[in-house]
């Protein structure tokens, strides 16, 4: 089993969660709940992995808090 880190945002005007996996082209999905988003991301990544080992264009490093 492989693990990927997803960035998740929630849009307050619609309540929809949107997620993507940094550096993995095409690995994005949305869902009305976090569980649905997770299932949709699993499906998206599974389709990408069917074509073989993907080449990542970037590596997830972390989240940075910017204070102004």
> Tokens 């992995």, residue?
49
Pairing of strands 16-20, 7-11: antiparallel
pLDDT at 46: 94
Q: How far is Cα 8 from Cα 68, in angstroms, rounded to an integer?
A: 23
Q: What is the pLDDT of residues 28-66, one digit of tens each?
A: 999 999 999 999 999 999 999 998 877 777 788 888 899
Domains of the chain with CATH codes: 1-68 (3.30.160)
Longest dimension (CA), the chain: 44
* Distant-in-sequence, close-in-space partners of 36: CB < 8 Å, separation ≥ 6: 17
Whole-model pTM: value is 0.83
């Amino acid at each position: 089993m492989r693990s990927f880190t997803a960035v998740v945002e929630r849009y307050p005007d619609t309540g929809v969660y949107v997620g993507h996996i940094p550096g993995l082209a095409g690995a994005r999905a949305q869902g009305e709940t976090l569980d649905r988003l997770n299932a949709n991301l699993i499906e998206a990544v599974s389709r990408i992995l069917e074509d073989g080992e993907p080449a990542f264009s970037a590596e997830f490093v972390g989240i940075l808090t910017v204070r102004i």
